Structure 1
Amino acid sequence: MLLRLPTSVSEAQECLAEGAVPVGGATLVWAVWQRDGFPASAMSLRELPEANVIGREELGAAVVLAGLDGRVPDVLRRAAATVGTGAVRRTATVGGNLAGSALRCLLPPALVLDARARVLHPAGVRETGLAEAAAGRAVLLGVHWREPVAAAYRKLPGVDGGAPPLVVASALHDGERGPRLRVAVRTGYDVLSEGVDRGNGAGDALAALRETPLGGLPPVAWKAVREQVSGLLDRPEGR
């Protein structure tokens, strides 16, 4: 297998056009390739500057999970810190987790940040929603968002051999019509995300969330949402 390492977007486009298979840290596909056979060529974005940015409002797809530190919002950093082992986090990438993993551990935090994705097609780069990026229909270059006023993250303990652990993430944003709360919940392999006005505090926000699909969550999941939203919104200035 030939591993190609483009250093520009145009070079990455050429790789795609020539049939190179996109790969992140290979933590998810290596065993499959060993079983089913390796492709003739693969493409990694680890040398592409656009895929390696990291900051308060943007994150490249080639950044490894262990690289998420104080430069990114805490809700993303805490989510990345719960993925696998230290060895996995030093190899697995943001793009691989968002677009290649069935668990998509970074997806709830990215959704509550109201992130947008930059994706690469053979014809060029364009911006899209996270749904397309998470579905793996294009090569993810990175995500960007507007920094929230406050955010929170919680991953409940899982059961060995059971369903993936419950994840709840939330973020409060300043909006043109007032503060707005976004909440995302991973139950099993499904991720639900909704946004509501903050209103006069946690009580108003929770009542509004009850009217969304999140209101149909199992009791244990709704309890986690209620506790997190109350902690996020009822502290001074939502901080």
Structure 2
Amino acid sequence: MLLRLPSSVSETRECLAEGAVPIGGATLVWADWQRDGFPELAMSLRSLPEANVVGRGTLGAAVVLNRIDDRVPDVIRLAAASVGTGAVRRTATVGGNLVGSTLRCLLPAALVLDARASVLGAEGVQEIDLAEATAKRPLLLSIHWREPVATAYRKLPAEAGGAPPLVVAAALHTDAGGQQLLRVAVRDGYDVVCGSATGDNGSEEAMGALRWTALGDLPSVAWDIIGEQAAELLRPAAGH
């Protein structure tokens, strides 16, 4: 297998045109390749600057999970720290987790940040909705978001080899007019659902509104956590 390491967007487009298979840390595909055979040409974005940024409001697709620190919101940092073992986090990448994995451990955290995806397609670099990126799986370069006021994250324990553990993420945002918006995303099994509600009138009203969103059919354990996170994030709005 020949591995290409493009260092510019134009080189990356050339690699794609040549049929190079994008890989991140190869943590998800290595066993399949050993069984089914390796591709003739692969490509890693670890030398592409646009895919390696870690900073305020942005995170590159080639960033390995153990590089994610307090430069990004806690919800992303905690989600990354909960993935697999230390060895996995030293090789697994943001892009591989979001668009190459069925578990998508980072997706709830990215959704509550209302993140957008910067992707490379036939027409060049485009910014698209994150849900579209995870569904269509284009070549992800980075994700971008507007900084939240506060965030919360919880991942329940699970048995090895069993169903994916429940994940609940939340973020509080404010708009230009000072209005508050609570965004919540939950991974229940392999499905990720999200919803949002105004936070200006406190957590109880927000919870009532969230139950009318796609979150409505979640199990009670998820709603218990959502309630705890809503109360924590909206306490100032409730006057406590």
Q: TM-score range by the shorter chain?
A: over 0.9
Matched, 1:179 2:180: yes
Q: Distance in 1 between matches of 2:153 and 2:213?
A: 20
Q: Distance in 2 between matches of 1:237 and 1:200?
A: 6
In the TM superposition, what is the alpha-carbon distance from 1:195 to its structure 2 partner?
A: 1.3
Matched, 1:216 2:214: no
Q: Which residue of 1 aligns with 2:26?
A: 26
Residue 104 to residue 61, structure 1, CA distance change in 2 (3 Å): same
> Letter of the aligned partner of 1:207 in structure 2?
G
Preserved CA contact (<8 Å) 2:117 2:129: yes
In the TM superposition, what is the alpha-carbon distance from 1:218 to its structure 2 partner?
A: 0.9
Preserved CA contact (<8 Å) 1:100 1:136: no
Structural mapping, 1:54-133, within 5 Å: 54-133=54-133
Tell me the percent identity.
Answer: 68
Preserved CA contact (<8 Å) 1:153 1:169: yes
State the TM-score, normalizing by the size of structure 2: 0.95
In the TM superposition, what is the alpha-carbon distance from 1:91 to its structure 2 partner?
A: 0.4
Q: Distance in 1 between matches of 2:220 and 2:190?
A: 18
Q: Distance in 2 between matches of 1:103 and 1:78?
A: 16
Matched, 1:225 2:232: no
Q: Distance in 1 between matches of 2:139 and 2:232?
A: 37
Q: Distance in 2 between matches of 1:161 and 1:96?
A: 20
Preserved CA contact (<8 Å) 1:132 1:138: no
Q: CA RMSD in A?
A: 1.4
Q: Deviations over 1:102-138 (max 9, x none)?
A: 1101000000000000001133110001122213531
> Letter of the aligned partner of 2:17 in structure 1?
A
**Stretches (4+) displaced over 2 A:** 159-162, 235-238
In the TM superposition, what is the alpha-carbon distance from 1:141 to its structure 2 partner?
A: 0.1
Q: Distance in 1 between matches of 2:166 and 2:175?
A: 29
> Any idea what SS the aligned residue of 1:183 has?
strand
In the TM superposition, what is the alpha-carbon distance from 1:235 to its structure 2 partner?
A: 4.8
Q: Which residue of 2 aligns with 1:198?
A: 199
> Structure 2: where are the runs of 5+ without partners?
none
In the TM superposition, what is the alpha-carbon distance from 1:81 to its structure 2 partner?
A: 0.3
> Structure 1: where are the runs of 5+ without partners?
none
Preserved CA contact (<8 Å) 2:148 2:171: yes
